[in-house]
C-alpha cells in the first residue's frame, strides 16, 4: 500500500472538538441563553424606568419649588431593613405575588375564556389590578404628607395613583403576553417599586439636614398640621 495517511471518518467525528465557531459548545449555548434573557429583560427594565419617571418628578420636584413627598414607613427604616425590603419583600411578596395572581392566573384564565381577544384580557386584568390597589393606595397616602402638605387632595391623589396602577397593569400584561413568561413583568414591577422606594428613602437625608426644631417626630401617621402622630 502506498505510504499515505488514512482517514477514518468515524474516529474523526467522535474525537472532533465540541466547538461552534471555535467556542466550546456548552459555553456557546449558555451565551445564547444569557443573551436572549438580557434582550427580553431589556424591555422590562426600560418599561420599569419609564413608568417610574413621572412619580419621581412628583416625589422630588426639580428646583425645590414645593415640599418633597415623605413616606412614614421608610423615614426611620435602617439600611439593612431597606435592603431586605428592596431585595426580598418587594420582588417576592409584592411584585412576584401580584404578577402571579393578576398576570399568571387571571390574565391566563381570561385569555383562555376570550380566545382571539388578548387585549381585552389584558385590560380586564389591569382593571382588577387597579381595584385591588384602592385600599393599598389609601393606606399608603395616609402614611405620606401628600394631603397634609397640600400637594394634592386625597381624591385626586387616589385617582392619579389608581390610573398609574392601571397603566402599569397594561404594561405588565403586554410584557407577559409578549414573552409568555412572568419574568419580564416581575422584573418591571420590581424596578418601578424599588426606584420609588429608593427615592422616598432618599428624602431622609434632606430632612435630617433641617434645623433641630424642624426634625421629624416619632414614626406614625401625618396629622393635619403636617407632623406625624403615633399610631
Q: For residue 213, what pLDDT is reported? A: 37
Task: Yes or no: say if 187 and 45 are a contact pair by the CB < 8 Å rule.
Answer: yes
Q: What is the pLDDT of residues 137-173, one digit of tens each?
A: 999 999 988 988 888 899 999 999 999 999 999 999 9
Q: What is the pLDDT of residues 184-231, one digit of tens each?
A: 999 999 999 999 988 888 776 554 444 433 444 344 444 444 445 544
DSSP state letter for 68: P
Q: What is the pLDDT of residues 41-89, one digit of tens each?
A: 788 888 888 898 888 888 877 666 678 888 888 877 788 888 999 999 9
DSSP 3-state assignment of 36? helix
Average pLDDT, stretch 96-104? Answer: 96
Q: For residue 41, what pLDDT is reported? A: 76
Task: Yes or no: say if 52 and 192 are a contact pair by the CB < 8 Å rule.
Answer: yes
The candidate with the shortest Cα–Cα distance to 101, out of 118, 126, 84, is 126
Q: How far is CA 147 from CA 62, 142, 184, in A?
A: 20, 8, 34
Q: For residue 58, what pLDDT is reported? A: 83
Q: Which three cell numbers stand for residue 142?
A: 395616609
> How many Å from the N-terminal Cα to the C-terminal Cα in the chain?
99
Q: What is the pLDDT of residues 17-40, one digit of tens each?
A: 555 555 555 665 666 565 655 666
Contacts of 4 (CB under 8 A, 6+ apart): none
Task: Yes or no: say if 192 and 56 are a contact pair by the CB < 8 Å rule.
Answer: no
Average pLDDT, stretch 117-129? Answer: 96
Say if pTM beats, i.e. exceeds, 0.85.
no
Q: For residue 39, what pLDDT is reported? A: 60
Amino acid at each position: 500500500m502506498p505510504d499515505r495517511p488514512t482517514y477514518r471518518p468515524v474516529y474523526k467525528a467522535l474525537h472532533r472538538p465540541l466547538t461552534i465557531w471555535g467556542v466550546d459548545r456548552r459555553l456557546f449555548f449558555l451565551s445564547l441563553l444569557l443573551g436572549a434573557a438580557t434582550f427580553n429583560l431589556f424591555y422590562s427594565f426600560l418599561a420599569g424606568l419609564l413608568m417610574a419617571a413621572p412619580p419621581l418628578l412628583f416625589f422630588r420636584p426639580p428646583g425645590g419649588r414645593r415640599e418633597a413627598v415623605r413616606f412614614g414607613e421608610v423615614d426611620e427604616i435602617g439600611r439593612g431593613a431597606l435592603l431586605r425590603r428592596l431585595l426580598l419583600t418587594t420582588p417576592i411578596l409584592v411584585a412576584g405575588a401580584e404578577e402571579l395572581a393578576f398576570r399568571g392566573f387571571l390574565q391566563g384564565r381570561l385569555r383562555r375564556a376570550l380566545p382571539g381577544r388578548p387585549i381585552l384580557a389584558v385590560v380586564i386584568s389591569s382593571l382588577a389590578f387597579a381595584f385591588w390597589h384602592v385600599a393599598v393606595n389609601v393606606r399608603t397616602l395616609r402614611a405620606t404628607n401628600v394631603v397634609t402638605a397640600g400637594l394634592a387632595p386625597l381624591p385626586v391623589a387616589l385617582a392619579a395613583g389608581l390610573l398609574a396602577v392601571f397603566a402599569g397593569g397594561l404594561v405588565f400584561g403586554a410584557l407577559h403576553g409578549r414573552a409568555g413568561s412572568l419574568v419580564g413583568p416581575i422584573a418591571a414591577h420590581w424596578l418601578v417599586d424599588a426606584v420609588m422606594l429608593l427615592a422616598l428613602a432618599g428624602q431622609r437625608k434632606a430632612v435630617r439636614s433641617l434645623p433641630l426644631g424642624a426634625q421629624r417626630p416619632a414614626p406614625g401617621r401625618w396629622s393635619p398640621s403636617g407632623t406625624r402622630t403615633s399610631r
